[in-house]
Amino acid sequence: MTLQEAALVLHDGTLFEGEAIGAKPEGGVTSGEVVFNTVLTGYQEVISDPSYAGQIITFTCTHIGNYGVTAADEESARPFCRGVVVRDLARRRSSWRSEGELDDYLRRHGIPGIAGLDTRRLTRHIRDQGAMPGAFGTAGESILAAAAVAATGTDGQDLVTTVTCEEPYRFGNGRAHVVAYDYGMKTTILRQLADIATVDVVPAHTPAAEVLSFEPDGVFLSNGPGDPAAVLHAPANVRQLLGEVPVFGICMGHQILALALGGETAKLPFGHHGGNHPVQDRLTGKVEITSQNHNYAVVDSGLDNVEITHVNLNDDTIEGLRCTNLPAFSVQYHPEAGPGPHDARYLFNRFAALMEGRA
């Protein structure tokens, strides 16, 4: 197969040359916020994670697509990312689980990609300068540069509305009953919740009164994309649930809980995206290797009656909290690990214990 020349231009004018893969974007250009992810495996789970809405994903692992794709690894009905950047796209897949090629998968879902770039150089640039908008495609350099300058990041954007479900639905048949706010829910999270509960998933804008009408044993706040401070309705709804029912949040849900408790969030220089972040559980002293995907973090200010339970050992950012006077807790990372290590899956059992009054 003959690949067409393509290029990536960042907001600051930095140019990277490569070859087009995946779908062909309209006008030969796609734009978004460029971030990097350090996972060695799990590229399909990353691409199909709704939390990447509005972003272009750069994989630091050099060889992507070598084991193909399978429906079993999908984290949502379709990918919401703006594009994919890889160093080397595998020419053939090799896995007994494989049902297709990654390139075909990208084409089928309308996701453009670019391969053959020096992703090491790109990653170092983002790490040093911070995540920034960019544009890539087969259009001319001047067109790409203009698109990169015009592109916006995730600041101030409520991207949750673009990924949340349209109608409530039920998942699983566990003993407890949980209502889950869908801010961009991953399928692996639903599977983990289904081990402990029957889950009614509701759209992100669902009023607290409607959630309470389900008479749940607990409420779950899911992961999701964009700026948590821009999801204006969410903290107010969660605030009305606190004290009425146990609450557990992951990633965006962690940030929403913090905002509901009077805290603040701030954007990280280049975010946390990968499957190898060390996090210490202050309650036990143990260190977990965690899966992460977020651009924003909770700031340690304005939080009353809150204990910081987990801390990222790379940069000391807050990775978990719990209320000292209410049955509510959350973590910034992804304990469901899709993909990633399973060190933190105990947190779903901790939620079950909280709903049963044992924690």
Read off the pLDDT of residues 78-108 as tens digits, 9 standing for 90 and up.
999 999 999 999 989 999 999 999 999 999 9
pLDDT in tens, 58-83: 999 999 999 999 999 999 999 999 99
- The reply to whether 336 belongs to the active site is yes
Q: Rounded to an integer, what distance in angstroms lies between the CA atom of residue 329 and that of residue 311?
A: 14
Q: Rounded to an integer, what distance in angstroms lies between the CA atom of residue 181 and that of residue 185?
A: 8
> By the 8 A CB rule, do 121 and 23 touch?
no
Q: Rounded to an integer, what distance in angstroms lies between the CA atom of residue 359 and that of residue 356?
A: 8
> By the 8 A CB rule, do 204 and 225 touch?
no
- The reply to whether 323 belongs to the active site is no
- The reply to whether 166 belongs to the active site is no
- The single residue of 61, 251, 272, 323 carrying the catalytic annotation is 251
Which of the four pLDDT bands, split at 50, 70 and 90, describes residue 1? low
What pLDDT score does 357 carry? 81
DSSP H or E stretch at residue 355: helix 346-355
Task: Report which DSSP code applies to 50.
Answer: G
| pTM (two decimals) | 0.95
Tokens of 58: 């750069």
pLDDT in tens, 175-211: 999 999 999 999 999 999 999 999 999 999 999 999 9
Structural domains present in the chain: 5-150 (3.50.30.20), 160-355 (3.40.50.880)
The DSSP line for 87-136 is SEE-SS---TT--B-HHHHHHHTT-EEEES--HHHHHHHHHHH--EEEEE
